[in-house]
Amino acid sequence: MKPLHVVLAVALGVVACGSKVDPGSEPAVADSGATDVSPGDTATEVASDAAVLPTEERTCKRLVDAMCGAASEACCRTLGIAWAAGGCREAATAYCSTRIDAVTLGRATYDDSKLEDCARSWTSMITTCQQEFVPYVKASAICAQLFNGTKEPGAACASSVECNAPVGSVAYCDQTAKRCRTSTVVPEGAQCNFTGSRLRYCEDGFYCDLTGATSACRKELAPGAACSSSNYIACGYSSTCVDDKCATGLGGGEPCTESRECSSWTCAAGTCNSVLYPMVDKSLCNGGTS
């Protein structure tokens, strides 16, 4: 099984600001608010004309307010990262503007009905400050429907902005393979996998059983239950097989020699990764200046 950190290295980048491309001129909006319909327009064209388009004045302001409030300051300080409100707002605006650019260029779509849900989701995630992977994917899937790329899983990509996320999923561009991938949380009994362009992770309390002809999410073993070091994932998230029994593995920062020793299932450069992922980083806390 591929360690989670390989899959998450790109997916868990909280703010990918990047360099802003020239968006060109803003689409004109009629003052009357009426839809401009020509006799030859198709139903699809009429619906497109009537769609609410994202703007920096409205869309980005709402997201920036959600991403750079008191919860963000508290989380940054908790994690020992310097806080600068102006730097946060600049980074969050760039994050949003890059997505507006993608919509303008036809590389992404925008659903204004998801704006408030996304803003609330951002605030909620940042308020928790650190999350395990499954809750993060489920919360992030809400915002994935606000700005959504047009490239299907498996398609060639240069940026995560281009990648399409089906409902309930998050999408990102794997910077090694340069292909779009999606991550989805699935329930008990559902097919699961850690490889390919459509990754399916089991809900909390279950593990991905890869021993049968078809993979499936099964109920995780209880703490203290007999287990095998070759199938340590059966002990469930944040646990592993220690001396043939399911138990909490080594914590983040502890020395390790194998990934199966760690609660996160990831041993990198002789140290266990944490099971918790920060919901802010230097770029969001201060614009990456300190």
pLDDT confidence of residue 51: 64
Which SS3 state, helix, strand or coil, does residue 279 take?
Answer: coil
pLDDT confidence of residue 52: 75
Using CA atoms, how far apart are residues 100 and 109, in angstroms rounded to an integer?
Answer: 9
Using CA atoms, how far apart are residues 1 and 201, in angstroms rounded to an integer?
Answer: 12
- Digitized pLDDT (tens) for each residue of the chain, 290 residues in all: 333 333 333 333 443 333 333 323 333 333 333 333 344 444 344 334 446 788 878 999 999 999 999 999 999 999 999 999 999 999 999 999 999 999 999 999 999 999 999 999 999 999 999 999 999 999 999 999 999 999 999 999 999 999 999 999 999 999 999 999 999 999 999 999 999 999 999 999 999 999 989 999 999 999 999 999 999 999 999 999 999 999 999 999 999 999 999 999 999 999 999 999 999 999 999 998 87
Kindly report the length of the chain: 290
Q: Give the position of tokens 């047009």.
A: 150
E strands along the chain, which residues?
Answer: 108-110, 130-131, 147-149, 169-174, 179-186, 198-202, 206-209, 216-219, 239-242, 245-248, 267-268, 271-272, 277-278
Using CA atoms, how far apart are residues 175 and 213, in angstroms rounded to an integer?
Answer: 31
Q: Give the position of tokens 């008990």.
A: 188
Q: Give the position of tokens 């699961």.
A: 192
pLDDT confidence of residue 54: 86
Query: What are the structure tokens assigned to 47, written together?
Result: 């619906």
E strands along 2-151, which residues?
Answer: 108-110, 130-131, 147-149
Cα dihedral 215/196/222/189 (nearest 10): -40
pLDDT confidence of residue 113: 96
Using CA atoms, how far apart are residues 190 and 217, in angstroms rounded to an integer?
Answer: 6
pLDDT confidence of residue 137: 96
Cα dihedral 114/115/117/122 (nearest 10): 130
95 forms bridges with which residues in the sheet?
Answer: none
